[in-house]
Amino acid sequence: MGDSNFVDYIKIHCRSGRGGAGSAHLRREKYIPKGGPDGGDGGRGGHVIVRANRNMWTLLHLRYQKHIKASHGMPGASAMKTGADGEDEYIEVPLGTIAKDADTGQVIFELTEHNEERVLVHGGRGGLGNTHFKSATNQTPRYAQPGEEETEGWFILELKVLADVGLVGFPNAGKSTLLSVVSAAKPKIANYAFTTITPNLGIVSHRNNTSFVMADIPGIIEGAAEGKGLGIRFLRHIERNSTLLFLIPADSDDIAVEYQVLLKELEKYNPELLDKKRVLAISKSDMLDEELMAEIEKDLPLVPSVFISSVTNMNIDKLKDILWQQFD
C-alpha cells in the first residue's frame, strides 16, 4: 500500500434520520361510521452506525465522503400501520478506531473487535399515532405526535494501530528491516531518516504455530511530543501496543542516552506509556565482537535486552522468545 493511502485521522459530518409523524386517522367504513382513532405510529429515523472491519487498514475511504446522512422514518398510516424505519447508514472503519466529538474532543467510543458496532448518531423516534391518546373523555382524538427531529454534528475518527509489539526508535534505527525479516511485511527500506512515514504491520511466526503482531511505528526524534519531525502524528499508535520494543543501533553514540530520550518523548506524550512492558534490542550488532558487546552491556538499561542483526539473523529467534515471554 502506498504511503499516500494511509489516513488515520478524519473529520466527518453525520446526520441521523428524522422520525416519522404519527397518524391522526379516524376509522371510517361503510357500516362503521364512527370507528374511532386508528392512526399508526411513525417509523424511527435511521441511525449513523460505525462498524469495525478487520480487513480495513485506513480511513482513506472517508476522505472524500465528509457528509454522511441516514434516511428519515416514514409516517404512520390508517389501520394502525406503523411507518417504515429510516435506513441506517454504516461507516466501516479499521479495528482500533476511536470516535470523538469534534467540538469538545471527548471520546465517544472505540472499536477493537471485528464487526463491533456503535451508534454514532441516533435517529429520531417516530411519533405516536392518535390511538395512543384515546381516553374515556376523549374518544376521537384528532391529533398525533410528530416525529423527533434528526441529530447532526461533526465528529473525528482517529485510528490507533492495534499490535502486540510496537517498534520504537529513532529514524534509520533498522525498524523496517527487522519487520521485513521477522514477518512477511514489505515496508519501504532505505538508508535515510523517515523512510517509514506510515505504520506497517507484520505477523511474526513463533514456536509451536504461535504468532503475534508487530507494528513498525515511524521514527521518533527528540521533541516529537511537541510536534518536531513527524511530531505526535504517529505517537498515538504506540498507545495500543502491549509491549514496546526499543530498537537502538550498535553504532549509536550512547545507547543508554538514546533510550532515555525515547522514554522521555513517550512520557511527555502520555505518561501511561511508561507502564507498558519494554524490551531493548541493539540492532546492527554484526559489527560488534564479543568483547565490545560485553563492554556495552554494562551500561544498558535494566530491561530485557538482546544484541541482534537483521542482516545476519543474529539472535532473531532469541528476540522473539523474549517478546513472547513479555505478553504471553
Residues 319, 190 share a domain: yes
What is the C-alpha to C-alpha distance for residues 212 and 165, in angstroms, rounded to an integer?
8
Domain boundary among 144, 159, 174: 159
Rg (CA), the chain: 29
Local mean pLDDT, 10-residue blocks, the chain (328 residues):
63 97 90 85 98 88 92 96 97 93 94 95 97 92 96 94 84 82 62 51 83 79 50 68 91 91 87 91 91 90 93 93 85
Closest by CA to 196, choosing from 186, 183, 205, is: 186
Instruction: Give me the count of residues in the chain.
Output: 328
User: The cell 472517508 sits on which residue?
Assistant: 62
Per-residue b or e along 87-119, where b marks 16 or more CB atoms closer than 10 Å to that residue's CB? ebbebebbbbbbbbeeeeeeeeebbeeeebeee
**Do 43 and 169 sit in the same domain of this protein?**
no
pLDDT for 6 equals 65
| Structural domain that includes position 250 | 163-327
Residue 225: its pLDDT value, please? 46
pLDDT of 247 reads: 93
Together in a domain, 140 and 187: no
CATH number of the domain bearing residue 218: 3.40.50.300
Give residue 233's pLDDT: 60
The pLDDT of residue 184 is 67
CATH classification of the domain holding 120: 2.70.210.12
Same structural domain, 132 and 196: no
Q: pTM of the full predicted structure?
A: 0.69
Number of structural domains in the chain: 2
d(CA 299, CA 58): 41
Among 100, 129, 159, residue at a domain's last position: 159
Q: Could you give the angle at which helices 316-327 and 175-182 cross, rounded to 10 degrees?
A: 90
167 and 314 part of one domain? yes
User: Which of residues 132, 159, 186 is at a domain's end?
Assistant: 159
- Are 147 and 200 in a shared domain? no
